[in-house]
Chains A and B, each alone.
Chain A
Amino acid sequence: MNYGRELLKGNTDSLLLCLISRRPTYGYQIVKELEKRSNGYFQFKEGTLYPALHRLERDNLISGKWQILPNGQQRRYYYITERGQQVLANRLATWQDFSTAVKAVMQTETT
């Protein structure tokens, strides 16, 4: 399988938690935001987002609430929970350490 896709798969939950921690958001907006922030690098089948969101909700890392917009349209907004914030902080710290270590090794290899 494609290495980039594997990396994205392994980090989807962290990316979602990170986006939701910035502000409550909904499925379609998450897709747009991921694409925009990654300059189009993160492109995936949009449907795979919803199982990931439901998994995070089941694990009590986020919570979803339906909201009715002034035009009558309904959207399910996701909020990060306290537990989700703790998990995100841990994952960010791990990621920082990991990327620093990878960078150090890779740079040694290329120089």
Chain B
Amino acid sequence: MVSSISHYLNRFKDCLHIDQNIKDGVAEELYTHLEEKTQELEENGLSKEEAGKIAVQSLGSPELIAQQIYETHAQGSWKEALFSASPHLLVALLFTSYYWQNIVYVSIILASTVGIAIYGWHRGKPVWLFPWLGYYLMPVVITGILLLSLPQGWGWIAALIYIPLALFVFIHIVRQTARRDWLYASLMLAPMLVTFTWFSSLGTGNELLASDWIARLQTNALWIVISFVALAGATIAFIRLKPRRYKILSLLVPPLIILLSVTMASRGNINSWGWLILFFSLSAFAIPVWMQARAYQ
């Protein structure tokens, strides 16, 4: 039989989405508190079971404590917020300055992104890491898509070797992130949503990419910049806001802005590939938020 103390601590841990080390520390603190209270009540003549129940009652709602602890630890500093938003701003800057076609600048940014993401991953996964991680994963996914467009069946052979490896990396990172917090998974997948949504607007007819896709990208540069700036704003809000429900709301704003800007830029002229990519991108973004909303009910 699960004791009332274990049950209480499990409920507490289930609804607290913060760094695992901090979570374990607070749970241990509550456990020692409950143990001491139980011991004292037992010395006053109560049975172990009764003492445990009273100890748990006097501590109050585990959901409320988890919420208050979350609000204490979930708010990042302004420095963290700006650093989290900086990859989005960098991409926006690339499009504003037309440097996105310059392989040297793009390579420098990619190399920095990979370095920062690996550094953060091995340094306890701080909150600023997740947007960087999103950009780190992007080349992994894009390479897989591009392999499919290799000529005469080579694409499928290359993809068969590459895709399982890429999927392994992708799933591992998403799982690890979601285990810590579903919302971080959404924050991480956000740059992919923007990129793939824009990608989706560049196809024509049944082609994944139109032959003049570079020119089309150039024409839509302003809308693309707006999308990434919106994402940067949402990221800053996400890091700085304390209540979880506001964080969820901040994550729902960019998809709406992006969807609107893509529709405006393409005047609703998106091909079937585009709709497919758009659907998967929006799902990848919305599912973690939906999972969280379900957990609240």
Task: Identify the A interface with B (CB < 8 A).
Answer: 26-28, 45-48, 50-51, 54-55, 58, 73-76
> Do A48 and B72 touch (CB < 8 A)?
no
Residue in A50, A58, A74, A75 whose Cβ sees the most chain B Cβ within 10 Å: A50
Residue in B65, B71, B72, B73 whose Cβ sees the most chain A Cβ within 10 Å: B72
Known: A27-B29, A28-B36. A47 touches B60 (CB 8 A): yes
> How long is the Cα–Cα vector from A47 to B37 in the complex, in angstroms?
12
Interface residues on B, range: 20 to 34
Contact residue among A47, A58, A73, A75 (Cβ-Cβ distance under 8 Å from B65): A47
Report A-chain residues with C-beta under 8 Å of the C-beta of B32.
26-28, 73-76
B10 at the interface (CB under 8 A from A): no
B82 at the interface (CB under 8 A from A): no
Contact residue among B25, B35, B68 (Cβ-Cβ distance under 8 Å from A51): B68
> How long is the Cα–Cα vector from A75 to B25 in the complex, in angstroms?
11
Report A-chain residues with C-beta under 8 Å of the C-beta of B68.
48, 51
Give min CB distance, B100 to chain A, whole Å.
Answer: 40
B33 at the interface (CB under 8 A from A): yes
Report A-chain residues with C-beta under 8 Å of the C-beta of B62.
47
Give min CB distance, B191 to chain A, whole Å.
Answer: 29
> Do B59 and A45 touch (CB < 8 A)?
yes
> How long is the Cα–Cα vector from A77 to B61 in the complex, in angstroms?
24
> Do B29 and A48 touch (CB < 8 A)?
no
B150 at the interface (CB under 8 A from A): no
Residue in B28, B32, B33, B68 whose Cβ sees the most chain A Cβ within 10 Å: B33
> Do B29 and A76 touch (CB < 8 A)?
yes
Beyond A46-B58, A47-B60, A74-B32, 19 additional contacts (C-beta under 8 Å) are: A27-B33, A28-B32, A28-B36, A45-B58, A45-B59, A45-B60, A46-B37, A47-B61, A47-B62, A48-B65, A50-B26, A50-B29, A50-B30, A50-B33, A51-B68, A54-B73, A58-B72, A75-B32, A76-B28
> How long is the Cα–Cα vector from A46 to B29 in the complex, in angstroms?
12
Of all chain A residues, the one with the shortest Cβ separation from B69 is: A51
B46 at the interface (CB under 8 A from A): no
> Do A58 and B59 touch (CB < 8 A)?
no
> How long is the Cα–Cα vector from A37 to B36 in the complex, in angstroms?
20
Interface string of B23-57 (1 = CB under 8 A from A): 00110111011011100000000000000000000
> How long is the Cα–Cα vector from A46 to B69 in the complex, in angstroms?
14
Report B-chain residues with C-beta under 8 Å of the C-beta of A55.
72
> Do B37 and A54 touch (CB < 8 A)?
no
Interface residues of B in 210-245 (CB under 8 A from A): none
> How long is the Cα–Cα vector from A28 to B30 in the complex, in angstroms?
9
> How long is the Cα–Cα vector from A45 to B35 in the complex, in angstroms?
16
Give min CB distance, B82 to chain A, whole Å.
Answer: 19
> How long is the Cα–Cα vector from A28 to B25 in the complex, in angstroms?
15
> How long is the Cα–Cα vector from A46 to B59 in the complex, in angstroms?
5
> How long is the Cα–Cα vector from A75 to B33 in the complex, in angstroms?
9
* 5 CB < 8 A contacts A-B: A28-B32, A47-B64, A50-B26, A50-B65, A74-B32
Report A-chain residues with C-beta under 8 Å of the C-beta of B59.
45-47
Of all chain A residues, the one with the shortest Cβ separation from B64 is: A47
> How long is the Cα–Cα vector from A48 to B66 in the complex, in angstroms?
10
Interface string of B168-210 (1 = CB under 8 A from A): 0000000000000000000000000000000000000000000
Give min CB distance, B149 to chain A, whole Å.
Answer: 50
Of all chain B residues, the one with the shortest Cβ separation from A55 is: B72
Give min CB distance, B28 to chain A, whole Å.
Answer: 7
Of all chain B residues, the one with the shortest Cβ separation from A75 is: B32
